[in-house]
Structure 1
Amino acid sequence: MQIYIVQPGDTIYSIANAHSVSPERLSLENDIPFPYNLVVGEALVIIQPNRTYIVQEGDTLKSISLSQQIDIMELLRNNPSISDGNLYTGEELVISYADKRTGEIETNGFTYPFIDMSILRKTLPYLTYLTIYSYQYNRDGSLIEIEDTEIIQAAKSYGVAPIMYITTPTSGDNIDTEIAHIFVSHMEIQNRFIDTILLTLQIKGYSGINMDTPYIQPPDRQLYVDFIKTLTNRLNREGYSVTVTVAPSLFEAATGITYSGIDYTGLSNAANAVLYQLTYEWKYPYYLPISILPLDAVLHTLRKAVAQFSPPKCILGFTNIGFVFEFPYFAAITEANFINYRSAIELANNTNSKIEFNEPSHSAYFHYIGNAKEYMAWFKDSRAINSLISNSQELGMRGISIWNIMYFITNIWLLINAQFEIKKILL
């Protein structure tokens, strides 16, 4: 596998010929629609197939799986274009790639309940866990229901463990900063909350929960760890897992100063797993994300946190969401608009922009003019994602988590698939 950066004068045909792959497969694996327009600076993932199969009349996924001795999930991972089960006579499918995988990895994808089911089906073969966002809890220990039955069942049919994500209630951008104190201070509310979670897990068919860590007042630091320990013990006895999510702020990543209210070691010991979620600022369009910072600063913060965790319990979370903002930029005043990877490439193509790569932050970006104003688009491409995954593996972390999977980015999933065996815990 390699990542190739489009140069001036390149075409899909010249790149394919130079790397011994078909132009059809190169365009398919990098979401490049006909007429195959390329953007200078665009990062393409190129993976040479080792063994392929030409679809015959009457073939099905099951018959190909049996004749080619390949697991159906592996067949779908190698060929996401057949996720709907439709096969066409003469179509070339990848049975195996030339690259040898380096090990096993756990993968998690966040989704909203309203995800397009065709996108979900295309993504599920690449996932160990599907985390559904989100159940909010109230001060009395009750939960606010969401409509999630269909995607829970879909996840399980692909051997993916559905995870119930639990967050603090919000009003606009305002988070209830007192709720953690209420929970750790009142055992009756705490027990009601755990009972409600267990009932929901049983009724809905979830495999476990992911508990978003709220604002914790420093005096409540140990009480919150005790609460997570109680929660984990109760749920583990019933066969459910508990993950806690912690997210460094932009201030923490920039300064290396860790907020004293969170006991990273205590939470790691109390829960089954810890999701260390980078770039949580996607929720706040008036604040720049952590991805703007130099990668060294972000990795320094990550290493400090992992040193307090048990690395095999730790999952690295990052976003595939990009940002577009107007120049000049003023903190807390300029509003950023969110953009997905494919839309960023299309915007660069439509504005005749050249994509640059900021080495310090490991982010792709480009400038363009629209309505007589200057804008910058800033996003993560396959180079950035590959770097984050590599660093997580070097630190001994168990896996990765992507916010979010509402859009399918073929080349990012293929670069993960080419390098790792993706763990399935329900098959």
Structure 2
Amino acid sequence: MAVAYHTLALTKDPAPEAKLEWAMFDRRVIQGQFPFSASDAFSKTSNGRVVRVSLRFAPPPLVSYVQLYTDDVVYGGPPKVVSADGDLLLIQMVVAVPDESPSNFPDNFFVYKASPEWPQLYALPTLGDDWFGRCQPTGIFHSGGDDFFAANLQTLVGENREEVAQLFRYSSLSKEWKLFHIDCPQDPENGFYPICWHTDSVFCYGEYMCWADYHQGIVYCDVSTDVIELRFVRFPGIETRLATCDGHGLPERVRTVAVNKGKIWFINIDDGRFSSGGRSECSVSMWTLKTLELKWEKEHTFALSDLWSVVKYQQSPLPQSVPGFPLMDLHEDGVLHFIVRESIKSELDWRVTINVNTLALDYEPYLNAIEEPYARRDVKNKFYNSALLASKVCQCLDLPTGRS
């Protein structure tokens, strides 16, 4: 008699669910009452009123949002996400103070620390009478553990017409702000004009906090030391703005800087707008900075005419217009995200994702989750002219992407 053997049904283990590696945040914070969630963190405003912050994630290229509730009076527009580093987000808003002039209403800065067990919201003390600047040039630097620094850089002209800088720095160790007066790098031959400096973005690279003016370049320093020295590196492939404070425009529409996989990247859409030589064929270029030599190296470039000639683009409803607000994908190599619109008056803006190596593309209508109750037109597919913020704040949360 033959021996009968049982056969084992070999089952394939299910593939591990993809995790959310990064998020692209709308810098505008959604205000209102929201259901409680595991991402909730609480603090108080400078008026002693409650603040509750939570995060609403979506897998890129969909947009994520910071949600905020407070029973205080927010003045001068909604709160904003100013900057990010690691598991930290820096949020800013202005709150009204009874019997005070609006010019004296204080900036309130909050640091949100993501955690799967116990998210935290730290209220930074308000700045003193020396504070007069913009909140946008404020960055956050996670120095390890629960320690962090926040720093705001302002350039100005001194009493003797010298070009100097003021750096306001908050340390989580001292729990106070400190004001530094710093000499600006003297490098006009390399395109650095401190009097015209306008910070467009703030980011961290290694031990440095970096401020970028998309018409000039990057100034950077180590904010963890009390001997602060500013250094400058010029952006490649652009004409440095002349020594005038006029005509800054909206450079974040065509330029951005990113830190990804250990490199500093500069992305430039050359549409001729900021060129004195007139318009040429529009192209998109990506550069990386060799940090030892402080030299830029071009990694990729493509002409928009080549993109528009792709069959999928030609068969799509996308207009043949210059893409804007570039954002580097922090997960897939060589992938950029853009906003494409037919005109500023159009009610339908598009989110377009492009692989710069193959010109493969994906697109869908841009989805805006922030309601505008007084808007005169439908804004659900409208992108507002505020560059999105790429962040890896979700990495510590082990969140599924929700997409197959």
TM-score (norm 2): 0.31
Looking at secondary structure, tell me which structure has more helix per residue: 1
Greater relative contact order structure (CA < 8 Å, 6+ sep): 1
TM-score (norm 1): 0.30
Looking at secondary structure, tell me which structure has more strand per residue: 2
